[in-house]
């Protein structure tokens, strides 16, 4: 492991703890912070702490409502969908909370062959997926060259109208050359979970001498990625390892650091809670209550207005539906996280092949139908990434509101693809009704005329991928 010579530890445990240990925030200060966020200005760590340092039910509801408003302002009513695809679960780490820990004798180890990977991708395409995140255990065999080959295999695998248009990565931190190799394969976002930003807790749950035992190497993993030319990165923590309020501040501190140093913050933030894992017993399960977790989502939305927030299928379906409006912009759906899970042919989870248990195992079509019935526009759009609207350029487009104007039409074209090629009759009816409503919202003009023409082409021909 090669540390960047200018790596820095930008997490001050004492400073963050001090921000949270002050008195209850004054109402005027909380409302001033909310107003800044609604003006689409990112919050400082100190301002975020003001939102977290209140137990006033009225103020918490104002925070929730502001998050709903901000999400609608920046992203509209779109929800981007993707699926995780686990490629291999060999791992040299021994993380206390993880089903893939090397000492877990109940975990069945497997790495997909190229043929098996193609089978998984073909199955996902047959369901209608266009966006994947490939997940790898941390092991020397899963090096940059290996990951790049898997990415190319995914892109090359086609199934009728089905194709994967964006492949994101969740894997171990690399040195700059490794990131360049992976980037050359055409990846989207490179995601690394810090798991916990609290130094002592990090040391407690990650064994010394393992790849993951080096806090600073992991903390600076995405800095090296950006320096190597990966213009989209994603951060995340696992809620339940330490105080949820501290972790929110850690995420914001990380976003502020990346933005200040590289001119662009994280493209996404993921914030799953601990889940049971086969062969693992960990005391943090259930330590973050639903009410607190809603505050996590709403606070992050206000703190980082232009960052995608990912609510994963670790949460159950009812909670995901309830929490969606608080600022979520991406979810996974139809997810199986067992190695080879998409072709296993089982309705129940195969726990000895999973990293953790999922809470929402509904098929993609059921999730799509619920989103449509709730007034959301499910999107598989990948236009920004293929047109270079990433990194700093993404911010240039997002800040003036271009995202809402371009992404809604692109969401409707990818939704129409899904409805025509994959949807059940009930889902198709719900989708067609929502599309009519969305078209009615658009002002007459060239954009609306062209969009209607493209939707008609998708319905009547084999033309696909008609993005703006």
**Confidence category of residue 141, pLDDT binned at 50, 70, 90:** very high
**Confidence category of residue 403, pLDDT binned at 50, 70, 90:** low
Work out how many domains the chain is built from and give that number.
Answer: 2
Count how many residues are written for the chain: 468
Q: Which long-range contacts (CB under 8 A, 24 or more apart) does 399-402 make?
A: 399/40, 399/306
- From CA 28, how far away is CA 100, in angstroms rounded? 47
Range of the domain at 109: 71-388
CA 309 to centroid of chain Cα atoms: 6
**Does a structural domain hold residue 158?**
yes
Mean pLDDT of the chain: 94
Res 285: pLDDT: 87
State pLDDT tens for residues 346-373.
Answer: 889 999 999 999 999 999 999 999 999 9
Is a pLDDT exceeding 90 seen at residue 222?
yes
Q: State what percent of residues in the chain have pLDDT above 70.
A: 96
- From CA 310, how far away is CA 189, in angstroms rounded? 13
Q: Is there a single domain that holds both residue 410 and residue 381? A: no
CATH code of residue 366:
3.20.20.70
Q: Is there a single domain that holds both residue 404 and residue 381? A: no
Is a pLDDT exceeding 80 seen at residue 388?
no
**Does a structural domain hold residue 45?**
no
State the Cα torsion 412-398-125-459 to the nearest 10°: 20
**Confidence category of residue 407, pLDDT binned at 50, 70, 90:** confident
State pLDDT tens for residues 60-119.
Answer: 999 999 999 999 988 889 999 999 999 999 999 999 999 999 999 999 999 999 999 999
Identify whether the C-beta of residue 193 lies closer than 8 Å to the C-beta of residue 240: no
Q: Is there a single domain that holds both residue 384 and residue 410? A: no
Among 388, 417, 432, the domain-final residue is 388
**Does a structural domain hold residue 425?**
yes
Q: Is there a single domain that holds both residue 377 and residue 405? A: no
Identify whether the C-beta of residue 337 lies closer than 8 Å to the C-beta of residue 354: yes
**Does a structural domain hold residue 63?**
no
Question: What is residue 431's three-state secondary structure?
Answer: helix
Among 368, 388, 408, the domain-final residue is 388
Q: Is there a single domain that holds both residue 330 and residue 431? A: no
**Does a structural domain hold residue 31?**
no
Mean pLDDT of 301-326: 97
Query: What is the DSSP code (8-state) at residue 132?
Result: E
State pLDDT tens for residues 279-310.
Answer: 999 988 889 999 999 999 999 999 999 999 99
Q: Is there a single domain that holds both residue 326 and residue 443? A: no
Among 388, 410, 441, the domain-final residue is 388
**Confidence category of residue 343, pLDDT binned at 50, 70, 90:** very high
**Does a structural domain hold residue 51?**
no
pTM of the model: 0.95
Res 284: pLDDT: 83
- From CA 441, how far away is CA 9, in angstroms rounded? 48
Identify whether the C-beta of residue 174 lies closer than 8 Å to the C-beta of residue 182: yes
Provide the greatest CA pair distance for the chain: 63
Is a pLDDT exceeding 70 seen at residue 393?
no
State pLDDT tens for residues 50-60.
Answer: 999 999 999 99
């Amino acid at each position: 492991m090669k540390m960047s010579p200018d790596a820095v530890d930008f997490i001050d445990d004492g400073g963050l703890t001090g921000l949270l240990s002050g008195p209850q925030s004054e109402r005027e200060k909380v409302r001033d912070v909310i107003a800044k966020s609604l003006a689409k200005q990112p919050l400082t760590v100190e301002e975020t702490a003001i939102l977290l340092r209140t137990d006033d039910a009225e103020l918490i509801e104002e925070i929730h409502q502001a998050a709903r408003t901000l999400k609608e302002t920046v992203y509209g009513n779109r929800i981007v969908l993707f699926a995780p695809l686990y490629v291999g679960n060999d791992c040299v780490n021994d993380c206390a909370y993880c089903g893939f820990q090397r000492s877990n004798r109940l975990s069945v180890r497997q790495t997909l062959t190229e043929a098996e990977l193609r089978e998984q991708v073909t199955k996902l395409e047959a369901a209608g997926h266009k966006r994947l995140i490939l997940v790898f255990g941390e092991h020397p065999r899963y090096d940059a060259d290996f990951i790049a080959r898997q990415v190319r295999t995914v892109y090359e695998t086609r199934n009728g109208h089905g194709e994967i248009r964006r492949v994101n990565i969740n894997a171990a931190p690399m040195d700059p050359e490794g990131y360049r190799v992976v980037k050359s394969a055409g990846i989207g976002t490179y995601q690394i979970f810090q798991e916990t930003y609290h130094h002592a807790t990090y040391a407690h749950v990650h064994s010394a001498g393992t790849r993951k035992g080096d806090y600073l190497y992991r903390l600076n993993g995405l800095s090296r990625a950006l320096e190597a030319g990966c213009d989209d990165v994603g951060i995340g923590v696992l809620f339940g390892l330490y105080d949820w309020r501290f972790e929110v501040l850690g995420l914001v501190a990380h976003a502020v650091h990346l933005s200040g140093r590289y001119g662009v913050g994280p493209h996404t933030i993921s914030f799953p809670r601990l889940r049971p894992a086969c062969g693992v017993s960990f005391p943090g399960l259930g330590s973050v209550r639903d009410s607190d977790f809603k505050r996590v989502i709403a606070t992050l939305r206000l703190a980082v207005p232009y960052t995608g927030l990912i609510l994963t299928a670790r949460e159950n379906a009812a909670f995901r539906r309830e929490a969606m409006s608080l600022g979520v912009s991406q979810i996974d759906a139809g997810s199986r996280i067992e190695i080879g899970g998409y072709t296993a042919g089982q309705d129940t989870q195969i726990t000895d092949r999973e990293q953790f248990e999922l809470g929402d195992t509904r098929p993609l079509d059921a999730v799509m139908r619920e989103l449509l019935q709730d007034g959301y526009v499910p999107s598989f759009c990948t236009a920004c990434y293929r047109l270079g609207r990433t990194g700093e350029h993404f911010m240039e487009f997002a800040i003036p509101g271009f995202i809402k104007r371009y992404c809604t039409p692109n969401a409707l074209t990818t939704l129409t693809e899904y409805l025509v090629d994959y949807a059940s009759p009930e889902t198709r009816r719900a989708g067609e009704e929502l599309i009519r409503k969305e078209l009615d919202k658009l002002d007459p003009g060239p954009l609306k005329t062209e969009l209607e023409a493209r939707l008609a082409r998708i319905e009547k021909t084999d033309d696909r991928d008609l993005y703006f």
